[in-house]
Amino acid sequence: MSTSGNRSLKIVIIGPPGSGKGTQARLLAARLGVPHISVGALLRAEIVAGSPLGERVDGAVAAGELVADADIATVLREALQSAAARDGWILDGAPRTEAQAAALAPLLESHDSHAALVIALEAPEEELRSRLLDRARVEDRVDDTPSVISHRLVVWAEESRPILARYEERGMLVRVDGTGDVEAIAARVLDAVDAAFAPRERDRRAGA
C-alpha cells in the first residue's frame, strides 16, 4: 500500500462520542506503524495517576464537559513531541475547540499541508447513544451514564462539530461512514487515507 511508505503521516480522527474514533485510530495507527495519541486516554491516565493536571481535569471529564484548552495543550505538547511521534501520528480527541484547532494548525499545515488529513467519522445520534450505553456494560467510564452521554453529545454539536468547517475549507477533510462493523469501517478509513495520500506520494516520488 502506498501510504505505508510515507514517513510523515499526520492524521486527525474526529467525531462525536461513540463514533468509534478511538477504535479506528488504534487500528489505523497499527496498520501504518505510527503512534496513536488518544487525548481522552491521556487525560484518564493523568486522573488515575493523581497528577496535578489529573486533579484539575477530573471534574470536567466526569461531567462530560470540555477540559480547559491550556490543559489539552500541555498533554498534546508532551505526546506530539515524543521521539516516536516525530515522523507522524494518528490523533484522536483533539481538536475539540477552535482554540485547539488554531494551536494544532502549525503542526498540520506548516511545511507540507499535504502530509495532513482530517477524517470525520459519522454515525446517527441514536446509534452513538446506544453504542455508548453498550460500552458502559464492559468498560468502567464514569462518563458513560445516560445523562452524561446526552450532555457530551450536546457539547460535541455545539463546540466541536463547527470546527469541521475549517478543515473542509482547506480541503483537508474526508467524511467516512462510521456505521457497520469495526472491520468495514476500518476498510473505509484505509481507503480514505489511500485516496488522500496516494497521488501526493506519487508526486513526491516523481520529485514534484
Where does this chain bind ligand ADP (CB under 6 A)?
17, 39-40, 43, 60-61, 64-67, 72, 93-94, 96, 100, 143, 152
Helix axis angle, 146-155 relative to 52-63, nearest 10°?
100
Give the nearest residue (CB) to ligand ADP: 40
Q: What CA–CA distance (Å, rounded) separates 69 from 202? A: 38
Contact 107, 76 (CB under 8 A): no
User: Taking the complex as a whole, how short is the minimal distance between the CB of residue 106 and ligand ADP, in angstroms?
Assistant: 17
For the bound state, the minimum distance from the C-beta of residue 90 to ligand ADP, rounded and expressed in Å, comes to: 13
* Pairwise CA distance, residues 136 & 17, whole Å: 13
Nearest-approach distance from CB 111 to ligand ADP, in angstroms: 24
d(CA 105, CA 95): 10
To ligand ADP, the closest distance from the beta carbon of 51 in angstroms equals 15
Nearer to ligand ADP, 138 or 208 (CB): 138
C-alpha cell read off for 160: 466541536
Smallest gap from Cβ 7 to ligand ADP, in A, equals 26
CB of 158 to ligand ADP, least distance (A): 13
Pick 67 or 193: Cβ nearer ligand ADP = 67
How far lies 90's CA from each of 8, 34, 193, in Å? 11, 7, 11
Burial 172-195 (b: 16+ CB within 10 A, else e): bbbebebeeeeeebbebbbebbee
Nearer to ligand ADP, 92 or 201 (CB): 92
Are the beta carbons of 8 and 113 closer than 8 angstroms? no
**Cβ-based nearer residue to ligand ADP, 142 or 198:** 142
Indicate the residue among 143 and 201 with the shorter CB distance to ligand ADP: 143
Q: Do 39 and 52 meet the contact criterion of CB atoms below 8 Å apart?
A: no
C-beta closer to ligand ADP: residue 163 or 193: 163
